[in-house]
Structure 1
Amino acid sequence: MFGINGGEFLVLLVVALVILGPERLPHYAEQLASLVKSARRFAKGAQAQMREELGPEFDDIDWQKLDPRQYDPRRIVRDALSEAWEDDDAPAKPGAGSTAAGGRTGVDLGKRSARPAAEPSPVPYDEDAT
């Protein structure tokens, strides 16, 4: 919960007890409990309002697909590149993607060259720009 483990939570409780003191701690605990209750009530109210406005489609929504934590850019790029490589392995259809010279158009991601890549040239350095 909130990235706090058990040991850290105990340290926070001891610090709160020392700072607040035993006479003010029950009052602040009540305030915290009422804040948590109101947050739960707000969340349930928002869920009820969404259910009311969307109607029966609310139950059909796949909430896991809408979770932003599932979108890993590395995985998305890897999947897209693997699809492109699979497409290149398929036999070419006659007339599809060919030019007048008989070559393929676009970038060929699936085929790898037998010769090594040329050494990249150094990046130009402009002393006036820095």
Structure 2
Amino acid sequence: MFLGLTFEKLLLVGAVAAFILGPERLPRAAQQLARMIRTLRDLANGAKDRMREEMGPEFDEVDWKKLDPRQYDPRRIIREALLEDETPVQVITPPTSRMAQARREAALNGTPAPFDSEAT
């Protein structure tokens, strides 16, 4: 979980905290930090238990490593999307006015678009 966080770095953070907080406030700050970490751990475990209850037996079948955002490679995702078999896409056009429909048909036929003298 804490990749790159070595014992030496933790020792340095502790020394800086002891220097900044002082010997009087350091024990209380350590207690608050421990309480906060316990609370966060309990929240994470509660969320995990709730997911397990709501998903049922499917929860254990999910490959959670596959859903890790650190595993995503944008180049691979784009490559796979481009290489997928293309399925025909049905384009649904919104309802249009008669004049817009006539312009569209004229553009497809190669004839000049109709002119509406009453349009502003």
- TM-score of the two chains, using structure 1 as the length reference: 0.54
Identity of aligned residues (%): 55
CA distance in 1, matches of 2:81, 2:47: 37
Q: CA deviation at 1:68?
A: 1.5
Q: CA deviation at 1:6?
A: 3.7
| TM-align CA RMSD | 2.3
Q: CA deviation at 1:77?
A: 4.4
Alignment correspondent of 1:40: 41
- TM-score of the two chains, using structure 2 as the length reference: 0.58
Partner AA of 1:30 in structure 2: Q
Alignment correspondent of 1:61: 62
Partner AA of 2:15 in structure 1: V
Does residue 1:24 correspond to 2:36, yes or no?
A: no
Partner AA of 1:56 in structure 2: P
SS in 2 for 1:36: helix
CA distance in 2, matches of 1:80, 1:55: 31
CA distance in 2, matches of 1:64, 1:2: 16
Q: CA deviation at 1:15?
A: 1.4
CA distance in 2, matches of 1:77, 1:54: 30
Corresponding residue pairs, total: 83
SS in 1 for 2:66: coil
Does residue 1:13 correspond to 2:14, yes or no?
A: yes
CA distance in 1, matches of 2:63, 2:4: 27
Does residue 1:75 correspond to 2:76, yes or no?
A: yes
Q: Gapped runs of 5+ residues in structure 2?
A: 85-120
CA distance in 2, matches of 1:77, 1:70: 14
Point out the structure with the larger helix share: 2
Structure 1 runs (4+) greater than 6 angstroms displaced: none
Partner AA of 1:53 in structure 2: E
